[in-house]
Copies of this chain bind each other. A is one copy, B any other.
Amino acid sequence: MSPPVRVLGSAAFTNVARVLVCLEEVGAEYEVVDIDFHAKEHKGPDHLARNPFGQVPAFQDGDLTLFQSRAISRYVLRKYKTPDGSSNLLRDGDLEGSALVDAWLDVEALQYEPAVHAVFVQHRVIPALGGTPDERVIGDSVGKLREVLEVYEAQLAKHRYLAGDAVSLADLSHFPYTHYFMGMPYATVFDPFPRVKAWWEDLVARPAVRKVAAMMDARRSG
């Protein structure tokens, strides 16, 4: 039996948590290896050989080394795809279905996450570094997020999930950052969107998501 795959980086990082949700969804065996940012391990030669940008996660499966969380997620979901398609979260092999997953995953990466990330930086990161949040940036970003959620609300009126009536990576990829966002006062931006809220409740009820949420929270309070 081959050794378990390795994820380098703590579950508290949203990009790491994205990969962990995929590994949990497919029931893969894996180990998480922390990277010591205080000791600048992320800028050391070993980690830069795994992730040339010095970021987390990095991922190892035997001789294969990967980086970029959505690329790793795709790899995990392809590698552990069940033969009957029951856990085909990419719709691999389905030309139209996979295109819809790709489209909504790009929406998450290029429209949803930049808005949520900007709020997170202003509300959590800058104060932690002794700075003052820029309320204009927060307002602009919450406004952009509202526009994205309007599109989601309309899409979820047509389908149970973003890329159709079955859950996919496009939905799950929203989990890590939204988990943190829902603990901020700006979470009220979700209130006018009942279908989005129901979709979120559905996602966080999944065993894989609950397990990774606990890992994220344990790391942040630890």
How many copies of this chain does the complex contain?
Answer: 2
Q: Is A74 an interface residue (CB 8 A)?
A: yes
Cα of A107 to Cα of B15 in the assembled complex, Å = 14
Closest to A69 in B: B106
Closest to A105 in B: B71
Which residues 9-45 of A have a CB within 8 angstroms of B? none
The smallest beta-carbon distance between A11 and chain B, in angstroms, is 20
Cα of A123 to Cα of B136 in the assembled complex, Å = 23
Cα of A96 to Cα of B67 in the assembled complex, Å = 12
Q: Is A109 an interface residue (CB 8 A)?
A: yes
Q: Is A68 an interface residue (CB 8 A)?
A: yes
A96: chain B residues within 8 A (beta carbon): 64
Say whether B109 contacts A52, CB under 8 Å: no
Closest to A113 in B: B110
Closest to A155 in B: B52
The smallest beta-carbon distance between A70 and chain B, in angstroms, is 6
Say whether A103 contacts B68, CB under 8 Å: yes
Q: 13 pairs across A/B with beta carbons < 8 Å?
A: A53-B111, A66-B103, A67-B103, A70-B102, A70-B106, A71-B102, A74-B98, A74-B102, A75-B95, A78-B95, A78-B98, A78-B99, A110-B110
Given A68-B102, A68-B107, A109-B110, list of 17 further CB < 8 A pairs? A52-B151, A52-B155, A53-B107, A64-B99, A66-B99, A68-B103, A71-B99, A71-B103, A71-B106, A72-B103, A74-B98, A74-B99, A75-B95, A75-B99, A75-B102, A78-B99, A79-B95
